[in-house]
Chains A and B, each alone.
Chain A
Amino acid sequence: MNAEALSAFWSEFRESRVAVAALAIIVGVIIAVIIAPLITPQDPYDLANLPLSDARRPPGFVGQDGYTHLLGTDAQGRDLYSAILYGLRISLQMGLVAGAIALAIGATLGIVAAHAGGRVEALIMRIVDLQLSFPAILLALVLAALLGQGKAQLITALVAAQYAYFARTAFGAAAAERRKDYIEAAAATPLSGARIVFRHLLPNSLPPLIVVATLQVANAISLEATLSFLGLGLPPTEPSLGMLIANGFQYMMSGRYWISVYPGIALIIIIVAINLVGDQIRDQLNPRLRR
């Protein structure tokens, strides 16, 4: 992966307007959530300052403190716009952290299995396969239920549910590389195993891992929202998007749709954007579609 290959990759990426737009959205959202305290009129976590009398107001309502609630308020009087931005921050945090840890653990397992071969490989990959056949959501559900609420617990559940995908991908790429003749030749020399792993197996596993990583981050965000929606995951004091949606569910029947719909739209936008970028990367890296 040198500079030339990267710039060639980027110029091909640029040709897809959709992917570029998606990337722009992601970058925009990341910037927005980083500077969230600066651009939101209200801190949705500050329970003491939430004006309850402003609860369940429609979009455009001008609240007690004089600012316009662009997207309305929820059942606790939170400005939905602020809550959504903070919720996005949590979603991104969870998704990226869980994704990064799952990537690290999974890739290590996969590459080690491919390099070690024999019994070690069989053992590791059997466990991975077993887990892969188990649906992520169930695993995450049960773990979240067992571990209780909280960020660390949620990340643990997400990582446990996702590392297997990374392991499988890393193993596949590394095993294919290992079978190549030049690795066998290298293994016959005094070159250390670590050198083979880092110089050859790892770089060749990176492209598919990157694709899986992008898609898994989107998956993690979706999973976290689902768990929060079901009442597991984060405590109600730090509402993630999923929880906002869950809280607003009961008001949908009476026409106060905005409490659930707007956080949902925000969630969809970020997930779709990440998936689009991941798709583009995957198409570009797929050798079988090259002419």
Chain B
Amino acid sequence: MLGFVIQRVLQAALVMVAMSALVFVGVYAVGNPIDVLISPDATQDIRAATIARYGLDRPLYEQYFTFLGNILSGDMGRSFVFGMPVLQLIMQRLPATLELTLVAVIAATLAGVPLGIYAGYRPDSPAAKTIMAVSILGFSVPTFWVGLILILFFAVHLGWLPAGSRGATRSLFGVEWSVLTLDGWKHLILPATNLALFKLAMMIRLARAGTREIMLTDTIKFARAAGLSEATILRRHVLKLISIPIVTVFGLEFGSTLAFAVVTETIFSWPGVGKLIIDSIAQLDRPVMVAYLILIAFLFVTINLAIDLVYALLDPRLRRGAA
């Protein structure tokens, strides 16, 4: 098992290096790094200083190592727009995105999996058909439109919930979280629902497809032949078998949801990393874009690694290593 873990971690590290090289190539070799890292209205002194700092006049491979070194020490440039170090900027806004994404994905899984299992267990029941119809909608409707409708209905029409921005926060471990306040939740519900809808639909469909297939296998027949009750079969056999693809999707979707938060944050004016990247694109704040890419890549690699490890925990067939 340990060998498996080490192997996976090494692979992840390799991928990170590859990703950093890709971004580097994209920024330094293809793009003009001077444009990327130096604000167009910087003075000559600052230009000279930045060129020296990032070694922009050195050969390419030297630049790459400087680039890598800078990243590892946390220096990702300064934002043109905000004037502060990008890393700091991103770290400031990350909690907002994290809590939004976490709430959304957890809610989607907790609601979606049971619904999907039921739909797969009794596929011809009217309840199952309704669930599937709703899931098709949730799957197809573009997130931004759902957000609009949610705002229209709950904020404008009914006036129950605020139409945007984050609620009051409370500090925990030195970070501000809005899930710790009631006002925070009032502001969180609409955007989280918006973000969760797509994932909910996906979880339902996944759980249903998986359940349907599993119910037709000999494993279930044998369990029934042994006299196990339907409830036990669902709980101990189906749930365990289905947990593998669900967990995989949960992890992958977490990363994807993080990315999709871009849209939700824009609509709901949620001060997270997603809104940051959109604004940066609009304002051509390139250091932020570069840093965002690197961080997202890092996040994805980490998530994939975590999934691989959890996968091995759940599926005993994989523990012998070798992939």
Contacts and interface: CB of A to CB of B under 8 A. Distances in A.
Are A and B close enough to touch in the complex, i.e. CB under 8 Å? yes
Interface of A: 130, 133-135, 137-138, 141-142, 145, 218, 222, 225-226, 229-232, 242, 245, 249, 252-253, 255, 257, 260-261, 264, 267-268, 271-272, 275-276, 279, 288-289
Interface magnitude class on chain B: 35 or more
Contacts of B259: 135, 137-138
A145 B216 contact: no
B243 interface: no
Given A141-B281, A222-B142, A272-B137, A230 B263 contact: yes
B282 A231 contact: yes
A224 to B, nearest CB: 10
A249 B297 CA distance: 32
Interface string B146-173: 0011011000100000010000000000
B300 A134 contact: yes
Contact of A288 (B213, B263, B281): B213
Interface string B201-223: 00000000000110010000000
Contacts of A249: 148, 267
Interface string B287-311: 0010001001100100010000000
23 contacts: A130-B15, A130-B18, A133-B300, A134-B296, A134-B300, A135-B259, A135-B260, A138-B296, A142-B289, A142-B293, A222-B142, A245-B145, A252-B156, A253-B163, A264-B142, A264-B145, A264-B148, A268-B137, A268-B141, A268-B142, A272-B141, A275-B136, A276-B136
A232 B281 contact: yes
B112 interface: no
Contact of B143 (A133, A226, A261): A226
Contact of B144 (A218, A229, A261, A279): A229
Contacts of B191: none
The 8 A-B pairs with the shortest beta carbon distances in the complex, nearest first, are A135-B259, A135-B256, A271-B140, A264-B145, A138-B259, A272-B140, A145-B281, A222-B142
Contacts of A137: 256, 259-260, 262-263
B268 to A, nearest CB: 12
A231 to B, nearest CB: 7
A255 B167 CA distance: 25
A288 B267 CA distance: 42
A254 B225 CA distance: 64
A130 B255 CA distance: 13
Contact of B216 (A218, A230, A260, A288): A288
A275 B137 CA distance: 9
Given A225-B145, A242-B144, A264-B145, 7 more contacts: A134-B296, A137-B260, A222-B142, A226-B143, A229-B142, A272-B140, A288-B216
Contact of B255 (A135, A275, A279): A135
B278 interface: yes
Contacts of B296: 134, 138
